[in-house]
Structure 1
Amino acid sequence: MTKPMPQPAIRKGRKFDQVLEGARTIFLRDGFEGASVDDIAREAGVSKATLYSYFPDKRLLFMEVAKCECARQADEAAELIEAEAMPVEKVLRFAAERFIDYMSSEFALSTYRLCVAEADRFPQLGHDFYHSGPELVRQRMVDYLKKAAARGEVKIEDFELAADQFAELCKVDIHNRLIFGIGDCCDPRDRNRIIDGAIEMFLARYGVRA
């Protein structure tokens, strides 16, 4: 087993957000492997020296973008759900659609592969991403379920478990097929079948009958 290496430090400064925004554009367009530091610096409007002064390693920059993107989507979803005051079934459908769309994106797949590839050398990389990205999305779901339970829309005792179960119901075989490159994935009919099944099973366990 490879001995873990210390994770290089990220330095923040005046152009930090500018670098992140430029990197987000390039990473979303080209993925981790396809993105070049030259393109990122050009898009961000900074020199390569400035970029490297903030992020000494491209992996760190990618993971920082991934954390911010995950948090942004979680916040947008939470705001929309609160604003629309949707019934629980529609919220679950909305959450499932967003989850599957993100999970099946090349950006999400690149993030997963990078975390796995660097797990031995840089275990902190995946740890930091999980707690600033997926864990935040999970907590948004927990918060929603608690509010839904308080309104009498669902009956749940273990909210963390319920949130995890719904996420797994949405994943079923999609994640493995994507990671291992097994055939086409997520055509509209298959996607809708998975979402319908996830909602039906979740509400069968936690739903409140009128």
Structure 2
Amino acid sequence: MQAARELFFERGFGGTTIEEVAAQAGVSKVTVYKRFCDKETLFENCVRKEIGRLAEAFDGGSVHPSEGLECRLNDFGMKLMGFLTRANYVALDRVLSQEFAMMPELGRRLYQAGPAQSRAKLAEVLAEACDEGILACEDPVRAASDLLSLWRGAIEVELKFAIRRNIDEATARDHVEHGTRTFLRAYQPRQD
């Protein structure tokens, strides 16, 4: 998995072969195929592993639920932005857009393995906050989409188009915290 992850992130899906993954991992090509069946499944597993790291923000991550919703959201947002703004991810994202157009099934599988799971996990946390009266939303999945959009914003686009070369932690934190505060204001319960 580590060898595949490094190669996929460096060269993209189309630029990586099973033979290269096997050679870098020090195993045979047959071993890779036995374990993962095909390159698409191997790539999907790499994406799932990355998404699992993001889920730590809510599942035993660095912020305990008792520290408050804003803290938990900011922690998740920072982990997400840390992942999305890494140079190797930005490069991979540029390549994947083209590959998904040619291989829509791969795009669907990776969407389900990555962004859909992140949004679902975030929606669970928001639904709990709504149940507790901390937030007011009719559709937690849509609310999660709103928050993800606020976090990603123009920074991700600027990185993709090479307007920015990187983003430092202070800028990312400021961006995430602003997005979280904006979201919380929009979804605060109405005071009658």
TM-score normalised according to structure 1 size: 0.75
Q: 4+ runs of 1 displaced by more than 6 Å? A: 33-36
Residues 81-139 of structure 1, C-alpha deviation per residue, up to 9 Å, x if partnerless? 59812301101111110111111123432442343111232111111100121100100
Question: Per the alignment, in what secondary structure is the counterpart of residue 107 of structure 2?
Answer: helix
Query: 1:62 Cα deviation (Å)?
Result: 2.9
TM-score normalised according to structure 2 size: 0.81
In the aligned structure 2, how far is the partner of 1:133 from the partner of 1:88?
Answer: 23
Residues 144-183 of structure 1, C-alpha deviation per residue, up to 9 Å, x if partnerless? 0111122222122221111011111111111111111113
Aligned match of 1:16: none
Matched, 1:75 2:78: no
Matched, 1:44 2:25: yes
Cα distance 1:161–1:205, how it changes in 2: closer, same or farther (>3 A)? same
Q: Identity of counterpart residues, as a percentage?
A: 24
Matched, 1:154 2:135: yes
Aligned match of 1:182: 163
Matched, 1:201 2:182: yes
Q: Which segments of 5 or more consecutive residues in structure 1 lack a partner in the other structure? A: 1-19
Counterpart selection for 1:84 from 50, 64, 80 = 64
- Give the aligned residue type for 1:92: L
In the aligned structure 1, how far is the partner of 2:17 from the partner of 2:170?
Answer: 36
Matched, 1:104 2:63: no
Matching of residues 164-175 of structure 1 within 5 Å = 164-175=145-156
In the aligned structure 1, how far is the partner of 2:165 from the partner of 2:89?
Answer: 17
Residues 57-101 of structure 1, C-alpha deviation per residue, up to 9 Å, x if partnerless? 4x653343123321x124322212598123011011111101111
| Equivalent pair of 2:63/2:75 in contact (CA under 8 Å) | no
| Equivalent pair of 1:66/1:133 in contact (CA under 8 Å) | yes
Counterpart selection for 1:132 from 113, 117, 132 = 113
| Equivalent pair of 2:47/2:113 in contact (CA under 8 Å) | no
Q: Which segments of 5 or more consecutive residues in structure 2 lack a partner in the other structure? A: none
In the aligned structure 1, how far is the partner of 2:111 from the partner of 2:85?
Answer: 17
- Give the aligned residue type for 1:95: F
Cα distance 1:105–1:150, how it changes in 2: closer, same or farther (>3 A)? same
Cα distance 1:89–1:107, how it changes in 2: closer, same or farther (>3 A)? same
Q: CA RMSD in A?
A: 2.9
